[in-house]
Structure 1
Amino acid sequence: MRIEHGDDGALVFGYLDTVATAGNRASDAVLVRAEGSGRARSYRLGEVGACEISGDHGMSVVSRVSPAARYRGHALGLLMDGRGALEQDGRRASLAPGDFVLYSGERPFRLHLGAHHRYLLLGLPEHSVPPECAGRITADPELSRLPSGRILTAMLTETTRLADRLGPVARWEMGEHLTAVLRTLIRESGHGGTAPDHRAALLDRVLDHIDRHLGEELSPESIAAAHHVSVRSLHALFRSQGETVNGYVRGRRLDRVRRDLAAPDLMRLPVYAVAARWGIRDASHLSRLFRARFGVSPRRFRQQALEADPAPARDGGAGRDRAGGSALRQNG
């Protein structure tokens, strides 16, 4: 993390984009105006960049968008202590402890944190937020009040507290778990309400069936036949959840492939063999699907996962602090 002090505040970059250098400005640059000193600690949970911010004085943060930015995903901010507010896309979200918001660093935003604050910021992978949902989820405090949102808050709180005890594989997997719950939350927010009990029970059985047969031939026809329903009814069941049958199966398969590609004990297994275990047997098809969902090729993802820094934190902080825990200070 680098900090440059100026008359209008402290320009901070690299709090999420930890590989940034002075000659290559980080994608997450912001202008910070603080009434006193504060602290920021950066670390990673697999693909998820994290930064814990704390201070005893008020702080305002304004985005500084760079055309050279590598990061194109959304950020999630969880207020753990104090009071705060976020403004973006014409919306303003007031934050109390336990509230979180999503926002994009590609568009202007303003974050205010009051005195005695503690704030967790996550830099999310691009694939975490479907493009068609990006415009409606920013600065929406109601997300944290949905059932999936409360679960996500609990996960984030405990992950922050215990991250230094996690091994390298566990930290990577925890990042995947967090983004998976976030995807569930976004889908839930766009398709309010729950299915009737009998439809929910049927959907539970169908999803369980799909997970148990991912490595086999799966089609809407075979899934419907296994549950004695029509194909039309099966499609309607998934549409009620904002999904398609084939899209859900494909996503589950890709998630399993991605998980196995990050596993050190499977590194000697060729990529095509990993994919075949989960029902994807066309190598070129795999590459297109994987890149479309995760923004990187399967081989490149495996390389990044296996090269990830394995060192756990030793200083009581959450995860390894790559920048050493930087202090922020800007008067008035």
Structure 2
Amino acid sequence: MQVERRDDGNLVFGYLDTASADLRGAFDTVLVRATTGDEGYAADMRPSRFGALSGCDISGEQEIRVMPRPSPAAPRPGHLLGLLVAGRGKLEQDGRRAALSPGDFVLYTGARPFRLELGPSHRYFVLSLDSATAGQLAAAVGPVTANPELPRSASGRMLAAVVGELAERADGFGPLARREMGEHVSAILRTLLREAAGAGPAVGSGAAEALERVLAYIDDRLAEDLSPGAIAAAHHISVRHLHALFRASGATVGDHVRRRRLERIRRDLLDPALKHLPAYVLASRTGLGEASHFSRVFRAEFGLSPRAVREQARGGA
């Protein structure tokens, strides 16, 4: 972390973007003001990395107010997840206010104005989200940023529990476990966003059971033709009805098939018994045969190239 004292507060950067030593290039620059007195800013900050997610555990004794100050030269700021571990706080963005108690999380973006207030003796754990999850968050229907109701849902409670454990045990994970935990957080968050976008099929309507059969069919046949027409024909339903089943769950057929194929490829890349097979061969076995396209979508989903996943798996082992 680096702090630059100014008349209007303290510019802080390098707590998430640890690779940037220059204020002008850091994507995580914020203005921090102590709410009492003319004090400089001091805090204990412990950066960490969980695959495509950057994290920082922040502990401080001052009562502070935090606002974004992105540099025009820096990459566009992404979406953030903040969990209050101890103390009290609140976050305002997009006309909404979320009061934070220990164990509560909040979603927000550095690309628009926000105000985060943390009381004295606070501990705050923040994660910068991967590009795929941030894209889904940006496209989410309904209020997401500074939404105090998200932690109250079933998926929200699970997400808070996992992120809380991540904050407490970050130093205890090995390289591979860190990466997998980051993917778990992203997966639960994507589920939460789909859940928040709209309710799933009503229990007892038969739609949930139909969707379960379709999902199992897709998992068993990732190497086969999984176009909407082929899936619908195999289940004796119309393509329109198939799309409706997925739409009610906040997903699309194509996105789900692509994600499941990429997850299978990633699993195969980590399998020692398959280490002799090139990544493009594993991709072709799940219907993603074009090497350049496969590498691009794989990196977008997981934040690493297939080769890097294999290399880090060997290092973690």
Asked if Structure 1 and Structure 2 have the same fold, meaning a TM-score greater than 0.5 normalized by the shorter chain, the answer is yes
Q: In 2 relative to 1, CA 102–164 (structure 1 residues): closer, same or farther, beyond 3 Å?
A: same
Q: Is the aligned partner of 1:179 residue 2:179? A: no
CA distance in 2, matches of 1:171, 1:25: 26
Find the counterpart in structure 1 of residue 32 from structure 2: 32
Contact residue 45 and residue 175 of structure 1 kept, 8 A: yes
CA distance in 1, matches of 2:43, 2:23: 26
CA distance in 2, matches of 1:203, 1:19: 44
Q: Quote the offset at 1:84 in angstroms.
A: 0.8
CA distance in 1, matches of 2:165, 2:92: 27
Q: Is the aligned partner of 1:117 residue 2:122? A: yes
Aligned length: 306
Q: In 2 relative to 1, CA 255–304 (structure 1 residues): closer, same or farther, beyond 3 Å?
A: closer
Q: Is the aligned partner of 1:241 residue 2:249? A: yes
Matches within 5 A, 1:14-163: 14-22=14-22, 25-34=25-34, 37-70=42-75, 72-129=77-134, 130=136, 131-133=138-140, 136-163=143-170
Aligned-partner SS, 2:21: coil
CA distance in 2, matches of 1:13, 1:264: 38
Q: Quote the offset at 1:183 in angstroms.
A: 0.8
Contact residue 200 and residue 248 of structure 2 kept, 8 A: no
Aligned-partner SS, 2:73: coil
Contact residue 65 and residue 108 of structure 1 kept, 8 A: no
Moved more, 89-98 or 147-156: 89-98
Q: In 2 relative to 1, CA 264–236 (structure 1 residues): closer, same or farther, beyond 3 Å?
A: closer
Q: In 2 relative to 1, CA 114–69 (structure 1 residues): closer, same or farther, beyond 3 Å?
A: same
Find the counterpart in structure 2 of residue 166 from structure 1: 173
1:201 aligned to 203, 206, 209, which one? 209
Aligned-partner SS, 1:33: strand
Contact residue 40 and residue 53 of structure 1 kept, 8 A: yes
2:232 aligned to 224, 230, 238, which one? 224
Aligned-partner SS, 1:159: helix
- Name the Cα RMSD after superposition: 2.8
Q: Is the aligned partner of 1:256 residue 2:264? A: yes
- Unaligned stretches of 5+ residues in structure 2: none
Q: Quote the offset at 1:90 in angstroms.
A: 2.2
Find the counterpart in structure 2 of residue 278 from structure 1: 286
Q: Which amino acid aligns with 1:209?
A: Y
Aligned-partner SS, 1:133: coil
Q: In 2 relative to 1, CA 216–15 (structure 1 residues): closer, same or farther, beyond 3 Å?
A: same
Q: In 2 relative to 1, CA 98–209 (structure 1 residues): closer, same or farther, beyond 3 Å?
A: same
Contact residue 48 and residue 123 of structure 1 kept, 8 A: yes
CA distance in 2, matches of 1:135, 1:226: 34
- Tell me the alpha carbon deviations over residues 250-301 of structure 1, each in whole angstroms, 9 at most, x when there is no partner: 222134335555x49567643312311322112244255446x4497x74x6
CA distance in 1, matches of 2:166, 2:215: 27
Q: Which amino acid aligns with 1:247?
A: D
CA distance in 2, matches of 1:59, 1:134: 32
- Unaligned stretches of 5+ residues in structure 1: 312-332
CA distance in 1, matches of 2:262, 2:309: 17
Percent identical: 52
Moved more, 77-86 or 88-97: 88-97
Q: TM-score, normalised by structure 2?
A: 0.85
Matches within 5 A, 1:293-312: 293-294=300-301, 299=305, 302-303=307-308, 306=311
Find the counterpart in structure 2 of residue 314 from structure 1: none
Larger RCO: 1 or 2 (CA < 8 Å, sep 6+): 1
Q: In 2 relative to 1, CA 264–59 (structure 1 residues): closer, same or farther, beyond 3 Å?
A: farther
